[in-house]
């Protein structure tokens, strides 16, 4: 497993890749699982809760996610008492060729962020519930109805696979503000 560089919108070449539509995966094999492992390590290192393959420059329709929502073991409190306990509750999820089959009319607004748009957050409105399909880490087709943060993250990452960034859902003024902030953040990181 290896931590990969995450593409960011302040870099013209990175942005050109991020705006591309990813291609379907023919089969979940060891190569795809190795990609997912690298993506998970990269996401945890960032740290983030979701990552699409395009964000590390790979144009395959692959997403990893960990909302840290694994259920508590019997006898444990719902809230982890330490970082070690929280790490034990990690709940990595793997999605190959994800798609939305149905979306509710009811909307949900969430303040989203993105590893490719560092340190910028803004409210985005998306369907509150979606029925989704994808291949899991073993290549088995899964269909499920999801809601809340899980649905937000799934739709956010699916957008990445379609060349759409969360700021594309915002007004032009807010998109420009996001781009300016990211340039400033990246300059300060390079100076450090």
Asked if 114 and 150 count as a contact pair (C-beta separation under 8 A), the reply is no
pLDDT at 78: 54
pLDDT at 14: 96
Identify whether 76 is a catalytic site residue: no
Tokens of 186: 């990246």
Tokens of 72: 């508590």
What the chain holds in terms of domains, given with CATH numbers, is 12-191 (3.90.45.10)
Q: How many Cα atoms occupy the beta-carbon half-sphere of 4 within 13 Å?
A: 22
Q: Which residues pair with 192 in a beta bridge?
A: none
- What percent of the chain is modeled with pLDDT above 70? 90
Banded pLDDT at 48 (limits 50, 70, 90) = very high
Q: Which of 79, 83, 143, 157 is catalytic?
A: 157
């Amino acid at each position: 497993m290896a931590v990969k560089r995450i593409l960011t919108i302040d870099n013209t070449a990175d942005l050109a890749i991020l705006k591309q539509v990813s291609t379907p995966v023919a089969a979940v094999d060891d190569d795809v699982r190795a990609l997912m492992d690298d993506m998970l390590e990269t996401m945890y290192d960032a740290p983030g809760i979701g990552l699409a393959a395009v964000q590390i420059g790979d144009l395959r329709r692959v997403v990893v996610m960990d909302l840290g929502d694994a259920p508590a073991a019997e006898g444990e409190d719902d809230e982890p008492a330490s970082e070690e306990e929280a790490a034990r509750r990690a709940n990595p999820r793997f999605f190959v060729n994800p798609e939305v089959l149905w979306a509710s009319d009811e909307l949900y607004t969430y303040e989203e962020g993105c590893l490719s748009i560092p340190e910028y957050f803004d409210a985005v409105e998306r369907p509150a519930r979606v029925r989704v399909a994808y291949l899991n880490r073993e290549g088995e087709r899964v269909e499920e109805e999801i809601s809340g943060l899980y649905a937000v993250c799934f739709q956010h990452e699916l957008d990445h696979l379609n060349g759409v960034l969360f700021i594309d859902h915002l007004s032009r003024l807010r998109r420009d503000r996001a781009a300016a902030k990211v340039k400033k953040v990246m300059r300060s990181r390079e100076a450090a």
